[in-house]
Structure 1
Amino acid sequence: MTVALDTATDQAGAGAGAAEEAGLLLRVLGALLREDVVGLRTRGTLLERPDGPWLRLPADAASGALLLPLGEDGYQSEYGARLPLLVRESDGARLTTVDEVLTALRALADPVDREGFDAYAEECRQTLATMRLHARTRDELEDELTIRHGVECGDWSGLDGGPAYDALAARLDHPVYPTARGRSGLDEAQLRAYAPEFRPDFALRWLALPRAAVTVPGEATLPACWPTPADLGLAHLDSSHLALPVHPLTLGDPLQGALRETGLESDAVLSERAVLDVVPTLSMRTVALDADPGLHLKLPLATATLGLRNRRTIKPPTLIDGAAGQRLLEAVIAREPRFRESVLLADESVYAHADHELLAVLCRRYPAGLDGSAVVPMAALLGRAPGGRLVIDHLADRFYGGDPLALLDACLALLFDWQTTLFGYGIALESHQQNISLVLDRTADGTRLRLLFKDNDGPRINTARLRDTLGDDAPRPEVFADPRIFAESDRPVLDLFATITVHLCAGSYAFGLAREGRAPLARVLDLVRDRLAEAVERLGTGPRDPGAALRSYVLDAPHLPIKAMVSAGSLLSKERSGAADINKHYTTGPNYLLRTGTS
């Protein structure tokens, strides 16, 4: 049968409050198509209809074929969903809710995967509730940020302005993962009290543990503000115990379970006093101290984001890897003097844990001297500031003569220079939008842009290339806890470079700024390709030069790797997806950089 839909009529008839569900369904359908869930890409047949292309997915006789209206995508998939629906071919029924669509696709899945579809449906419900909460509280947040930080977001300065930018970023959708705004198991009251999009303040709780049970690395010293047991009303434990901070959301069953598993239940004492006021950052589990915004504490949470398998706990080995990653980056900067002033690293060498993913803390110290600078996470650039304009527009007004593309240009030039230099050493960072901040200020010579990096615990490293470039200064693989970090070829390094640095930190802004009408897409993609090509040329493009690998795999390849985040993070078990690391599990998509031709 022929199916044609009137988009305006469909949307108008959806009823009040349906905009959030329509938007979520479009993103969910796009992700499922991109990741070829139930064979949408490989089993589907492309049909040309008067209103545009459709995809026909065959099914069994009982279910009937499903029809998906397609539209151009181009970012990480040739097509995306054009309308928020599936149509059942047998009777023309329109499936217009996330629940209806996932139920229909679940029927086509392998029986062993259906539990994953049920879990993902719940994740979608929670995300939808959060999106509607964000819509209802938009004015409330704008008032709060204006009172706390000022009317003009481009003037929010220093590290104490960071939580304000984080609040705006937390209300954005992830460029790839459709249900990123959901946090499993948290209700509205908990989100209002602890989530970054509400810019709340709260106090930490503290757990006194036997000193012998707590690991603090080497000669590291915990921050001066660290309370002693006596400060917590537990003076009798001063000589025998050390306090670890506990996020209020981890209290109760999660904390008790961790203490039972470690055998510390009888020796641990939870103080009744809440000490140190904090504000959540974009990651939610990391909090900034109100009294010392340059000190952030990363605390485990018994929740999940970006997939139900992506728990927000802190596995102790990742603390080791973060400190080792920081030392490696410092070694590169020491050999590359042009980055000594332009690339800043947060200090992540101080941490403590009691050998459990819910009994741990990272003490992240930011560089000094940032009080007069705008310190803005990349994730906030496309956020809506109070008044409705984009954050990048406000920053462009202050630092780049009102031109957001000039700001992006400066950012990409430095970002690609640094990341391609790292590739020359055999290194790629999982430095996505949340882990990089722009540091902007005015000097006598004009605007100065620096990049500030954090969370360096998940790199990929080509062992041979690292040895060739760093020689005796190359760290041995055993100084990192995760053996997946090291490889004997460029492939894992290139995959990470493409999916993080290119897609999330460059491509997403090209498509985002074009979508917002700031410039034609081709123009912004030309900018991305030109800056990347310039950086690649600096590495050399001879057959044995690292630039040749980047050019072949990223600039000139017909397809690029893309993250299969929904499949690995929620829908499929690790055994079914084959993902050794759910954050580094890939499929392929079009290379949008080819649109501008070769350099």
Structure 2
Amino acid sequence: MTVPPDTLTGRTGEAPAATAEESELLVRVLGALLREDVVGLRTRGTVLERPDGPWLRLPAGEATGALLLPLGPDGYQGQYAARLPLLVRESDGARLTSTDEVLAALGELADPADRPGFEAFAEECRQTLATMRLHTRTREEVEAVLAKRHGPDADSWLGLDGGLAYDTLAARLDHPVYPTARGRLGLKESQLRSYAPEFRPRFALRWLAVPRGAVTVPGGEATLPRCWPTPAELGLGHLSDSHLALPVHPLTLGDPLHEALGATGLERDAVLSERAMLGVVPTLSMRTVAVAADPRLHLKLPLATSTLGLRNRRTIKPPTLIDGAGGQRLLAKVLAREPRFAESILQADETVYAHAGHELLAVLCRRYPAGLEDSAVVPMAALLAPAPGGRLVIDLLAERYYGGDPLALLDACLTLLFDWQTTLFGYGIGLESHQQNISLVLDEGAHGTRLRLLFKDNDGPRINTVRLRDTLGTDAPAPADFADPRIFAADDQPVLDLFTTITVHLCAGSYAFGLARHGRAPLDRLLALVRDRLAEAVERLGTAPGEPGAALRSHVLDAGHLPVKAMVSAGTLLSKERSGAADINKHYTTGPNYLLSAVT
């Protein structure tokens, strides 16, 4: 039967009221599924105009019948977003108001080979909902912890130690695109409280003594941090001459570690120390921990869990360590040729690492630059997070450094960010430097506020080999210098895709839409700011035919549509064989170009 309009607007057949967290999650999930055209929502659906606004009608199969989704305007990465937290079954007017119900209905429309992915995503949603509720009820508790460890006023959290407090705030904020980013598959509440950044815990690492011959340390053991314990300090003095210690995250103990040792044939020769040593604090990425006694030193450790999708495992494949070091060396070459960025672009050192040939037996020793103790070091991911007291982090920073004007802070950030990233594009380089991988470094200098950008995680770039050779000549690395062949391409397209989905969408567009949502300025003004600053950076590259700026103008500024990450499809819903994703973090669909609306 056809559902009458009053049922569609919710005046009959009411389901029990959902909690705020449930409604928020379902709207985000429906929006992501619509954006990624899951089961043909976009391409097979028909938009119907109803008295309360537009609805999408998706023709369906015999078991389910047609489905109806209330639509609202989006504009960020899709034309439409979900307007209400529900999906309606047209045949009987049933209102599906939970992620379980919605994914079950949509899963019925999917190819049978894909249905396990819908079930997995439903579990991902359940875990995310539990985490969201946990965050809600522990907000005051965590704010008290931050006040005790870092001080009561967020605008006084300085240095890399203060940055850990901002990581805690960012970990309680949703990802701009991925709807279930706050969930970590398989972890219990007690484990989140003990090891997740949103609780600002401190814990000690465990250590595994591994035969030296089984461990790769490219720079030699002397390059490892001075805090590295010896087997003797771990109570394994009889192994001092033959073994080297590797850190193990407590969450990797048990079955994951046993399986890794079995896979590498080390189960008899590697010895787990009974002693926990070296106090650490989790950073925003969770698997990366800061050494409490030396916040400049971060250790990236593999975890046997997933975030941002079932297939997005938090392990560390040894080849990525090679690529991270190679990426850093490449960026150092560019910085040496671009002295105007010498004081404004900072890089973490990622050249020291060790592994024993398995994705759970590895560590990256990341060292941050010195001299940041008097600066605010704030991950971009924290800017729209509420600080203790309820004000946004960006407002607190703007009050301290930009006369209370958050748009002035955003303007300064975009100017430097676009200048650097377009310069890299001119060399044929695109970085996967999303909000979590860039920190703002703010302080007061002799000439007023100084803004710098601090980058980390260089293991997943995309490089146009032709453009790189043209600009760096003999200094250009060869593809053989990296482990992942997907890094290199013979044209700009992969670099453009990465530039757009990471730098433009996540590091610029999301703040325009986010600040507009928070009422800081009209959306058109914020989008005009993004477009103007990007256009200025593009012009500096040159926009004549064949010049790099021409590609950015054509494919980003003036394109009718822009690439959009299909993160749910590639990360959980579909197998790689079904999605065709060569890289689940670089699998795309398309969305509207919101920069076109800023053209004056």
| TM value normalised by structure 2 | 0.98
Question: Unaligned 5+ residue runs, structure 2?
Answer: none
Q: CA deviation at 1:113?
A: 0.3
RMSD: 1.3
Q: CA deviation at 1:160?
A: 0.5
Contact in 2 for aligned 1:246/1:299 (Cα 8 Å): yes
2:150 matches 1:149: yes
1:221-300 to 2 correspondence within 5 Å?
Answer: 221-300=223-302
Deviations 1:63-105 (A, max 9, x none): 2100000000000000000000001111111000110000100
1:23-62 to 2 correspondence within 5 Å?
Answer: 23-62=24-63
SS in 2 for 1:232: coil
CA distance in 2: counterparts of 1:107 and 1:89, whole angstroms? 15
The equivalent residue for 1:395 is: 397
SS in 2 for 1:294: strand
The equivalent residue for 1:171 is: 172
CA distance in 2: counterparts of 1:233 and 1:349, whole angstroms? 29
CA distance in 2: counterparts of 1:542 and 1:396, whole angstroms? 38
SS in 2 for 1:369: coil
Q: CA deviation at 1:544?
A: 1.0
CA distance in 1: counterparts of 2:506 and 2:534, whole angstroms? 14
The equivalent residue for 1:538 is: 540
CA distance in 2: counterparts of 1:265 and 1:62, whole angstroms? 51
SS in 1 for 2:24: helix
Identify which of 332, 335, 338 aligns with 1:333. Answer: 335
CA distance in 1: counterparts of 2:163 and 2:559, whole angstroms? 38
Q: CA deviation at 1:3?
A: 3.1
Contact in 2 for aligned 1:4/1:50 (Cα 8 Å): no
CA distance in 2: counterparts of 1:438 and 1:7, whole angstroms? 44
CA distance in 2: counterparts of 1:73 and 1:410, whole angstroms? 26
2:448 matches 1:456: no
CA distance in 1: counterparts of 2:110 and 2:552, whole angstroms? 37
Q: Percent identity?
A: 80
Q: CA deviation at 1:264?
A: 0.3
The equivalent residue for 1:195 is: 196
Identify which of 407, 419, 422 aligns with 2:421. Answer: 419
Structure 1 counterpart of 2:85, which letter?
Answer: P
CA distance in 2: counterparts of 1:227 and 1:578, whole angstroms? 45
Identify which of 527, 542, 546 aligns with 2:529. Answer: 527
Deviations 1:512-540 (A, max 9, x none): 00000000000000000000000000000
CA distance in 2: counterparts of 1:10 and 1:332, whole angstroms? 63
Contact in 1 for aligned 2:208/2:246 (Cα 8 Å): yes
Structure 1 counterpart of 2:329, which letter?
Answer: R
CA distance in 2: counterparts of 1:368 and 1:6, whole angstroms? 59
Q: CA deviation at 1:5?
A: 5.9
What is the aligned residue count?
Answer: 597
CA distance in 2: counterparts of 1:330 and 1:96, whole angstroms? 51
2:69 matches 1:68: yes
Q: CA deviation at 1:60?
A: 2.0
Structure 1 counterpart of 2:364, which letter?
Answer: L
Contact in 1 for aligned 2:8/2:88 (Cα 8 Å): no
Contact in 2 for aligned 1:193/1:200 (Cα 8 Å): yes
SS in 1 for 2:127: helix
Q: CA deviation at 1:4?
A: 3.8
Contact in 1 for aligned 2:15/2:95 (Cα 8 Å): no
Q: CA deviation at 1:7?
A: 7.0
CA distance in 1: counterparts of 2:307 and 2:5, whole angstroms? 37
Q: CA deviation at 1:14?
A: 4.3
Structure 2 counterpart of 1:395, which letter?
Answer: L
Structure 1 counterpart of 2:458, which letter?
Answer: N
Contact in 2 for aligned 1:7/1:83 (Cα 8 Å): no
Q: CA deviation at 1:415?
A: 0.1
The equivalent residue for 2:111 is: 110
Question: Unaligned 5+ residue runs, structure 1?
Answer: none
SS in 2 for 1:293: strand
Deviations 1:349-381 (A, max 9, x none): 000000000000000000000000000000000
The equivalent residue for 1:126 is: 127
Identify which of 346, 349, 359 aligns with 2:348. Answer: 346
Q: CA deviation at 1:505?
A: 0.2
The equivalent residue for 2:599 is: 597
Identify which of 465, 469, 487 aligns with 1:485. Answer: 487
Contact in 1 for aligned 2:6/2:12 (Cα 8 Å): no
CA distance in 2: counterparts of 1:202 and 1:11, whole angstroms? 50
Structure 1 counterpart of 2:190, which letter?
Answer: A
SS in 1 for 2:452: strand
CA distance in 2: counterparts of 1:439 and 1:253, whole angstroms? 40
SS in 2 for 1:457: coil
CA distance in 1: counterparts of 2:493 and 2:363, whole angstroms? 33
SS in 2 for 1:364: strand
CA distance in 2: counterparts of 1:69 and 1:422, whole angstroms? 42
Identify which of 539, 554, 557 aligns with 1:555. Answer: 557
Identify which of 515, 518, 521 aligns with 1:516. Answer: 518
Deviations 1:169-201 (A, max 9, x none): 001110110000000000000000000000000
Contact in 2 for aligned 1:4/1:51 (Cα 8 Å): no
Contact in 1 for aligned 2:202/2:282 (Cα 8 Å): yes
Q: CA deviation at 1:61?
A: 3.2
The equivalent residue for 1:205 is: 206
CA distance in 1: counterparts of 2:72 and 2:481, whole angstroms? 48
Q: CA deviation at 1:257?
A: 0.2
Deviations 1:219-264 (A, max 9, x none): 4610000000000000010000000000000000000000000000
Contact in 1 for aligned 2:299/2:365 (Cα 8 Å): yes
